Chains A and B, each alone.
Chain A
């Protein structure tokens, strides 16, 4: 996205208060064509910046965007001078928005490029902790991560004395290791941190406790407390135990810590009373993720929020479709990491809620909370 002048349609770069062409003050952010031409390249061999000093040599280029401006950007090794390129906007390790010029068409092992990997959280070669593989989402995700070439996938399992569907197939996956982990148990988190806390590059919290019910359809706060226990206090304990080590490993060579992933219900954005108390705990979890963004700021670890609608699992059985399949959610999480996104809405319901939330949060709230009367 770049700014476009509402008066003369000129695209502005870098961002400005007034149009550099006609001085109008009606600049608005719009999606622009990602295409461009790689005009010139250079390779930096020295820098006063400590980040780049450790990563020399570093190739950059000047790109003439089809949309108008000429910009300086990071360059993928396969993007060549004189050729057409495709621009990708991402946040860098410091959290700044930057561009990287990619070859126009996909090249072999394109995702392995050093400059690109600095901007994405590709699980390939990295060590990933999936906090809950009892749930089908965690299982689908673990399979997806193995397929994506993760160096190691730690499979978080609570209450190992309780069997679960899919366990044997899951445990047979290559490059995986079972990690006893119960988010409601501070001791279990501390134990796991002491054994693998220094080598988790990506942490994906899939543990969720979602139950139907609103404030007045339930009789007590027990289930709500369980929801807060798993959906809010669980991630908080994870942040307090795994977070500091990951934050200090944001530039730990090839295997640096890169992403902290929260899997959240889209009803964290606006309450849906059918699962109203679960949604309330998800809103708390969303707020916590924003707090975590502050904690991780500048560390090189991205906080990635994945939003989903009702999952096609046993706790959402009475709901009609559309529901997001665990496989789709797992694939969406892997995709978001590969692309280096910080936020992704997966499935029809999540995308629909996102659109309505962006347009008018108050109207969305009204529609969700009055849905019962509209039926």
Chain B
């Protein structure tokens, strides 16, 4: 049997399960809020074109609009100024193999529950590696915080001084990029950076270093609690938008069921 035949058999038998890591595109789902003098992220909007009525008797279809960074979405390197001149750095030019890769899931949900401003450092990553083994090159690293279980105001967690949510600092991201050669970093929160990441050094370190290294981001993931620490395969192709800085997408994970 070929490798793909084995995978097909496993998918059909349920030995490999498909987990949906995507939030529904919903007009009510929060979007990133920037200071008002900057351009804003447009939330998801939808208008009906016809619904089996005089506008189209046998068909229902709609027109939607949103930002490239609305809902569960992919960040391409040209999203950030550090990645603006890199080759193959927009969603339409990124080599497709980056969209199907193994993933490591770093579970820091307990820490995030204790501290909504939890900052992931390189020491945290190394502690995880001691327990689960070294992160290999070409993997996606997903930070589990259980933030996707929050909804409404608690998700963005806006206060007078901005949003409060967990995220990595520069040491964690640089370690993952420079020492481990990851392909991308994914989170459950609204951005790959912490809510207060604008005050880190450099500001927004995940965006700064990931995209400067021609690597990718995934935001607003859910169901990370259904993934093992190692062994899942992530499927995350963004829409092929010309010069796209990112795109909403469906993110899936293939997970091998234990025999138990």
Point out residues on A near B: beta carbons under 8 Å: 159-163, 182, 184-188, 222-223, 226, 314
Q: CA–CA, A216 to B3, complex, Å?
A: 59
Do A160 and B47 have beta carbons less than 8 Å apart?
A: no
Tell me how many residues of B have a C-beta within 8 Å of chain A.
Answer: 18
Which residues of A lie under 8 Å from residue B45 when comparing CB positions? Answer: 184-186
Q: From B30, B40, B48, give the contact of A186 (CB < 8 A).
A: B48
Q: CA–CA, A184 to B46, complex, Å?
A: 10
Q: From B27, B39, B47, B156, give the contact of A162 (CB < 8 A).
A: B156
Which residues of A lie under 8 Å from residue B27 when comparing CB positions? Answer: 182, 185, 187-188
Do B48 and A163 have beta carbons less than 8 Å apart?
A: no
Chain A nearest CB: distance from B240 CB in Å?
A: 23
Do B47 and A163 have beta carbons less than 8 Å apart?
A: no
Chain A nearest CB: distance from B118 CB in Å?
A: 21
Chain B nearest CB: distance from A233 CB in Å?
A: 9
Which residues of B lie under 8 Å from residue A314 when comparing CB positions? Answer: 36
**B57 interface residue (CB < 8 Å to A):** no
**Contacts A187-B27, A188-B27, A222-B39; A162 near B46 (Cβ below 8 A):** no
**Contacts A185-B27, A187-B27, A222-B39; A161 near B153 (Cβ below 8 A):** yes
Residue of B nearest to A190 (CB): B48
Chain B nearest CB: distance from A193 CB in Å?
A: 14
| B106-157, CB < 8 A from A | 152-153, 155-156
**Contacts A187-B27, A188-B27, A222-B39; A161 near B156 (Cβ below 8 A):** yes
Residue of B nearest to A219 (CB): B39
**B33 interface residue (CB < 8 Å to A):** yes
**B158 interface residue (CB < 8 Å to A):** yes
Which residues of B lie under 8 Å from residue A163 when comparing CB positions? Answer: 153, 158-159
Chain B nearest CB: distance from A190 CB in Å?
A: 9
Chain A nearest CB: distance from B139 CB in Å?
A: 33
Do A187 and B152 have beta carbons less than 8 Å apart?
A: no
Which residues of B lie under 8 Å from residue A187 when comparing CB positions? Answer: 27, 46
Residue of A nearest to B157 (CB): A161
Chain A nearest CB: distance from B33 CB in Å?
A: 6
Chain B nearest CB: distance from A354 CB in Å?
A: 31
Which of A187, A222, A314 has most B Cβ within 10 Å?
Answer: A187
Given contacts A161-B158, A162-B33, A186-B47, 8 further A-B contacts (CB under 8 A): A163-B159, A184-B45, A185-B43, A187-B27, A187-B46, A223-B39, A226-B40, A314-B36
Q: CA–CA, A162 to B156, complex, Å?
A: 8
Q: CA–CA, A184 to B43, complex, Å?
A: 9
Q: CA–CA, A338 to B259, complex, Å?
A: 74
Do A186 and B153 have beta carbons less than 8 Å apart?
A: no
| B22-62, CB < 8 A from A | 27-28, 30, 33, 36, 39-40, 43, 45-48
Q: CA–CA, A207 to B47, complex, Å?
A: 20
Q: From A161, A182, A184, give the contact of B30 (CB < 8 A).
A: A161
Q: CA–CA, A74 to B135, complex, Å?
A: 86
